[in-house]
Amino acid sequence: MKELDKEVKVKVKRFSEEKGTWWQEYTVKVDKYTQMTEVLKRIKEEQDPTLSYRASCHMAVCGSCGMRINGAPRLACRTIALEEVDRTGSDTIVVEPMDGYPVLKDLVVDLTDFYNRMYKVKPRLHPSEDVLKGKSEHRLKPEDQSRLWKFAQCIWCGLCVSSCPAVRIDVEFLGPAAHAKGYRFLSDPRDTSFEERAKVLIDSAWRCTYCYMCYEVCPRDIEPVEAIKLTRTYTTKFGPTGDASSFGERHSKAVEESIAETGMLQGGKVYVKTYGLVNSLISMIELMKDGKATKLIMERQKKVRGIDELRKLLGEKQ
Amino acid sequence: MEKLNYDVVVVGGGLAGLMTAHEVASAGFRVAVLSKVFPTRSHSACAEGGIAAYMDGNSDPSDSPEFMVYDTVKGGDYLVDQDAAEILSYKSGEIVRLLESWGALFNRQPDGRVALRYFGGQTYPRTRFVGDKTGMALLHTIYERVSGLNVDFFSEWFTLDLLVTDRRVTGVVAMEMKSMSPATFGAKAVVLATGGNGMLYQHTTNSYINTGDGYAMALRAGAALKDPEFVQFHPTALYPSDILISEAARGEGGILKNNKGERFMTKYAPMKLDLAPRDVVSRAILTEVAEGRGFPGGYVQLDLTHLGEKYIKERLALAVEAGRNFAGVDPVKEPLPVRPAQHYYMGGVDVDVSGANPDLPGLFAAGEAACVSVHGANRLGSNSLLETLVFGRETGQAVVKFLENSKEVRDAPNPEKVVDDAYSFVKRESGVHFGEVMKELRKTMWEDVGVFRDEERLKRAVSKVTELRKTAVNMYVTDRSKTYNTEFFNALELRNMLDQAVVIATTALNRTESRGAHYRLDFPKRDDKQWLKHTLAYLRGNTVEITYKPVKITKWMPEERVY
Ligand SMILES: Cc1cc2nc3c(=O)[nH]c(=O)nc-3n(C[C@H](O)[C@H](O)[C@H](O)COP(=O)(O)OP(=O)(O)OC[C@H]3O[C@@H](n4cnc5c(N)ncnc54)[C@H](O)[C@@H]3O)c2cc1C
Ligand code: SF4
Ligand code: SF4
Ligand code: FES
């Protein structure tokens, strides 16, 4: 077993309102077990008490210690210092505050925007009156429990939102964590405010770009994008609730039709059906510039074999 | 200084604080919850195993709430107030039901009812759980619920001290961490739900934020701590992160080994071996390390490898996750590095079963911050989450009654003094900084007020802590930043830790017997004749004043604690 202590350099992006931004380097002795929260604690207690960061549980359940470590959005307590050294091949570990939130001091960011997103989805169960008064009791199937628990384990760390491109450009988008939370209640059989929740969630769900960043970074394996996909499936039932979802629903209808016709996704056709011919032509011109659209328009699909079977499975749309 | 007014101020956004706030807000009173971290970052999130509850119609057919009282009393080595244990047990079922109705995703039985499992010290299985993240699940559920009520949250507000006017509590002074601006919160009642104090010890499974601020605030306001000498240690915390590795790992066949590869428990507990009680195993591990048979850094190995990959992954998923994520060790392939660590604080602000402190009208406490005496000398696993919720609710209801009969209170005459005292660290130009004192304090508490205690160590600890308290008067804060200056708050936490440490060391020296988690090498036996009584300790300047209070016994007479 290798117990040897090793010295690593930790380069921290510092900030204070008084002094602005600067980089500071520390040297810390670590062994193969040392978590990044411990590294920061040693710096603070032994070298530089002015360094500010958040940390509480040191076991990845409280969500305090989100930051960027060697460029990646991570929980510091879930990051072993020497594993970073192995991964990057460099003895220097670069630590920065989470992206996308205003920095208050050093690694401490202002999460107000994150919390507000969470409150927008009314993150609490609305049980029936009878249950609340103790007149009756919930039963919940074990499989529902485990399905819901997957999405309920969010620790509000903010990492997914900090790495979500859609949140940056689309003010109407609730963001990954809020969607995971929202879906967790939307699909809880014990909840009573189904329609109200659907109204808040459906349109926003169509604003996600499916880039899977949230899936990558979430330390609790919540897979918010999966919650978003599942929320989209509610569109047919409730109908579109805004711009994004009406485009979105037309989009998925077009996808379905394209598959039904040829057994393949015909990009060009789907695009035209979703956005209408005129809109499509406008964006095609934009796309031509990088050659993408040519491919979209040009490809003419042959039917794949077994398409007739597939049609049956899809319910044979006329 | 800004002044805000509420009916009630709850300090603490963990399970206990949020439950209390729920009751007060539901009764229509104005309540503020102050927490030094965003509520879901509280230590309650760390609880793994579960919450004990006897549920009518959903328990072992042979079980009864009476058995649960008995288990709790015996587990606590008879220092439990039995009326309190009765409330805990008889109200456990409705508390779990309540949390379930608010959406808590308890694991289920095939028919949809809440599932249950065994935990140490239970005659019948009673523990309800949400995977291995019960605390996290319950904390989020209750935060979700309470954030929908009319409660004002002040998150990342650090409470400095209680305000006392005309010998009653009339509010607190707190500081917003972001802007560093202080404010007084006037209130007719204040509830301390500030959690435990594991950071007092060099090794602890607790969160970094568990510095026991509430204990120190109560002491400084003139209230007593009850049974402060009782600190629980857990034998197997992961080295070096001190993340808890549950007893299940040894239950399933895990073996403890020293640096020679010897199964050392054969020496200390030839019969029960690795499954001997927590205190015995903790002492064995520390003896091995002290005698040079530990690994560099001071740990031993918990070997699971012989159990085989399939078995380990199936039965000990959490140990696998913890080993891999936090120690870079795969327990399927190599042994886990473990050592004992502080785990829970049985002592706390002296309160009765309604959460009220007898010294200061208007002062209440709940959760790990309080000592209602349900855990006595040793807490049973999964009874603590239960306590936070049952007594959080009892306390909330008692506060409502208190408010209904309470007159307007006079404003505290000089709240500025509280802020000046805090700022005195910043004004200084030289002296020690918090890190130096903190390290020494945590080392002293670990070595001399830890698993092994005796007169010599405890005397040494008392004088060392007294000395550190003097040094800390010259503490200073190097960071002059006016936003989120964590060095400043760490200094205040250290001041709080020192105030409790002197009380814990002194009362441990005073109790000349061994009971539950308090183990004296020089007095290895329990002594009911002299010591079947609660310690009450006050801090007057540098003096710790000790008095006693009888234990409430309703039915269960003390007998020897054997398992
Ligand atoms: C690893 C681990 C596992 C555990 N597992 C279990 C288990 O399975 N079952 C069980 O029953 N128990 C378990 N426990 C014990 C249990 O988790 C705790 O006793 C319980 O959660 C304490 O809750 P609380 O509400 O009293 O305090 P906490 O949850 O600690 O909350 C304290 C609150 O006070 C606030 N606060 C503190 N000081 C200040 C200040 N100066 N100003 C403002 N706010 C302040 C904090 O911000 C926080 O919100 C476990 C403990 C540990 C360490
Ligand atoms: S998949 Fe969607 S929610 Fe997730 S990061 Fe990408 S755009 Fe955001
Ligand atoms: S979904 Fe995952 S990454 Fe996003 S806030 Fe929750 S726990 Fe963090
Ligand atoms: S410290 Fe709690 S998640 Fe990292």
For chain B positions 487-516, those within 8 Å of chain A (CB to CB) are 487, 490
User: Tell me, what's the pLDDT at B453?
Assistant: 97
Per residue in A247-259, pLDDT (tens digit) is 666 555 554 554 4
CA B343, CA B203: separation in Å to the nearest integer? 9
User: Tell me, what's the pLDDT at A290?
Assistant: 40
Chain B residues with CB under 8 Å of A17 CB are: 481-483
At position B284, the amino acid (one-letter code) is A
Min Cα separation A54/chain B (Å): 9
Q: With contact defined as beta carbons under 8 Å apart, do B76 and B517 qualify?
A: no
CATH number for region B235-342: 3.90.700.10
CB nearest A34 (choices: B113, B240, B479): B240
Per residue in A72-130, pLDDT (tens digit) is 999 999 999 999 999 999 999 999 999 999 999 999 999 999 999 999 999 999 999 99
Please confirm, yes or no, whether B315 is among the known catalytic residues: no
Q: What is the DSSP letter of A45?
A: I
Q: With contact defined as beta carbons under 8 Å apart, do A35 and A58 qualify?
A: yes
Q: With contact defined as beta carbons under 8 Å apart, do A217 and A227 qualify?
A: no
Rounded percentage of chain B residues whose pLDDT exceeds 70: 99
- Structural domain boundaries enclosing A177: 111-239
Whether residue A299 has pLDDT greater than 60: no
Per residue in B323-357, pLDDT (tens digit) is 988 878 999 999 999 999 999 999 999 999 999 99
Q: Is A160 in the pocket of ligand 3 (CB under 6 A)?
A: yes
User: Tell me, what's the pLDDT at A4?
Assistant: 64
Q: Which of A186, A214, A239 is the last residue of a domain?
A: A239
Q: Which residue has the higher pLDDT, B70 or A259?
A: B70
User: Tell me, what's the pLDDT at A253?
Assistant: 59
Which ligand lies nearest the alpha carbon of A156?
3
User: Tell me, what's the pLDDT at B248?
Assistant: 75
Average pLDDT over residues A268-285: 44
Q: Which helix (H) or strand (E) holds B444?
A: helix B434-448
Per residue in B391-423, pLDDT (tens digit) is 999 999 999 999 999 888 888 888 999 999 999
Q: How far is the CA of B139 from the centre of ligand 4 (A)?
A: 15
Rounded (5°) CA angle B79-B84-B90: 130
Per residue in B293-305, pLDDT (tens digit) is 999 889 999 999 9
Atom of ligand 1 nearest to the CA of B15: 25
> Does residue A232 fall inside a structural domain?
yes
Whether residue B274 has pLDDT greater than 90: no
Q: What is the CATH classification number for the domain harbouring A30?
A: 3.10.20.30
Atom of ligand 1 nearest to the CA of B496: 41
Pocket test for ligand 2, best of A208, A216, A228 (most atoms within 8 A of CB): A208
Whether residue B360 has pLDDT greater than 70: yes
Average pLDDT over residues A184-209: 95
Min Cα separation B23/chain A (Å): 14
Nearest to A120 by CA among A185, A46, A71: A185
Per residue in B18-62, pLDDT (tens digit) is 999 999 999 999 999 999 999 999 999 999 889 999 999 999 999
Residue of chain B minimizing CA distance to A147 = B105
Question: What are the structure tokens assigned to B185, written together?
Answer: 């919160």
User: Tell me, what's the pLDDT at A1?
Assistant: 41
User: Tell me, what's the pLDDT at B562?
Assistant: 64
Q: What is the DSSP letter of B239?
A: T
The answer on A248 and A171 residing in a single domain is no
User: Tell me, what's the pLDDT at A257?
Assistant: 55
How many other C-beta atoms can be found within 10 angstroms of the C-beta atom of residue B328?
17
Min Cα separation A83/chain B (Å): 8
Tell me what ipTM this predicted complex has.
0.93
Number of domains comprising chain A = 3
Cβ distance A62 to B208 less than 8 Å, yes or no, reads no
CA B18, CA B33: separation in Å to the nearest integer? 8
- Quick one: pLDDT band at residue A281, thresholds 50, 70, 90? very low
The answer on A231 and A250 residing in a single domain is no
Q: Is A294 in the pocket of ligand 4 (CB under 6 A)?
A: no
For chain B positions 282-301, those within 8 Å of chain A (CB to CB) are 295-297
CA B31, CA B302: separation in Å to the nearest integer? 47
Q: Is A158 in the pocket of ligand 3 (CB under 6 A)?
A: yes
Average pLDDT over residues A133-153: 93
Q: Which residue has the higher pLDDT, A243 or B211?
A: B211
CA A74, CA A100: separation in Å to the nearest integer? 14
Cα–Cα distances (Å) from B387 to A95, B15, B464, B519, in that order, read: 40, 10, 34, 25
The answer on A303 and A213 residing in a single domain is no
Whether residue A158 has pLDDT greater than 60: yes
User: Tell me, what's the pLDDT at A250?
Assistant: 59
Q: Outline which parts of chain B fall under CATH 3.90.700.10.
A: 235-342
> Does residue A10 fall inside a structural domain?
yes
Q: How far is the CA of A175 from the centre of ligand 4 (A)?
A: 22
Identified catalytic residue from B126, B128, B145, B278 = B278
Q: Which of A224, A239, A254 is the last residue of a domain?
A: A239
CA A261, CA B3: separation in Å to the nearest integer? 70
Sign of the dihedral through C-alpha B472, B42, B357, B198: negative
Q: How far is the CA of B362 from the centre of ligand 2 (A)?
A: 50
User: Tell me, what's the pLDDT at A31?
Assistant: 87
CA A66, CA B488: separation in Å to the nearest integer? 22
Residues 6+ apart with CB under 8 A from A138: A127, A131, A190, B100, B101, B112
CA B59, CA B53: separation in Å to the nearest integer? 9
The answer on A211 and A98 residing in a single domain is no
> Does residue A1 fall inside a structural domain?
no
User: Tell me, what's the pLDDT at A283?
Assistant: 41
The answer on A186 and A98 residing in a single domain is no
For chain B positions 38-57, those within 8 Å of chain A (CB to CB) are 38, 40-43, 45-46
Q: With contact defined as beta carbons under 8 Å apart, do B95 and B393 qualify?
A: yes
- Quick one: pLDDT band at residue A287, thresholds 50, 70, 90? very low
For chain B, the average pLDDT equals 94
Per residue in B121-144, pLDDT (tens digit) is 788 899 999 988 999 999 999 999
The answer on A50 and A94 residing in a single domain is yes
Question: What are the structure tokens assigned to B270, written together?
Answer: 């030839």
The answer on A179 and A166 residing in a single domain is yes
DSSP string of A240-257?
--SHHHHHHHHHHHHHHH
Which ligand lies nearest the alpha carbon of A66?
4
> Does residue A123 fall inside a structural domain?
yes
B556 in contact with chain A, both atoms CB, cutoff 8 A? no
User: Tell me, what's the pLDDT at B377?
Assistant: 95
Whether residue B162 has pLDDT greater than 80: yes
Q: What is the DSSP letter of B412?
A: P
Q: How far is the CA of A148 from the centre of ligand 3 (A)?
A: 15
CA B377 to centroid of chain Cα atoms: 13
At position A187, the amino acid (one-letter code) is S
Per residue in B85-123, pLDDT (tens digit) is 999 999 999 999 999 999 999 999 999 999 988 877 788
Average pLDDT over residues B383-389: 97
The answer on A230 and A131 residing in a single domain is yes
Sign of the dihedral through C-alpha A293, A298, A304, A307: positive
Average pLDDT over residues A213-217: 97
- Quick one: pLDDT band at residue A261, thresholds 50, 70, 90? low
Residue of chain A minimizing CA distance to B115 = A142
Q: Which of A60, A86, A108 is the last residue of a domain?
A: A108
Assigned CATH topology for domain B415-533: Methane Monooxygenase Hydroxylase; Chain G, domain 1 (1.20.58)
Q: How far is the CA of A207 from the centre of ligand 2 (A)?
A: 9
- Quick one: pLDDT band at residue B247, thresholds 50, 70, 90? confident
Question: What are the structure tokens assigned to A139, written together?
Answer: 């039963």
User: Tell me, what's the pLDDT at A245?
Assistant: 74
Per residue in A40-51, pLDDT (tens digit) is 999 999 999 999
Q: What is the CATH classification number for the domain harbouring A197?
A: 1.10.1060.10
- Expressed in percent and rounded to 5, the helix, strand and coil fractions of chain A are 50, 15, 40
Task: List beta partners, residue B225.
Answer: B349, B537
User: Tell me, what's the pLDDT at B408?
Assistant: 81
Q: Outline which parts of chain B fall under CATH 1.20.58.100.
A: 415-533
- CB–CB contacts below 8 A, A to B: 193
Rounded percentage of chain B residues whose pLDDT exceeds 90: 82
Pocket test for ligand 3, best of A121, A149, A151, A156 (most atoms within 8 A of CB): A156
> Does residue A193 fall inside a structural domain?
yes
Task: Return the residue whose CA atom lies nearest to atom 4 of ligand 2.
Answer: A214
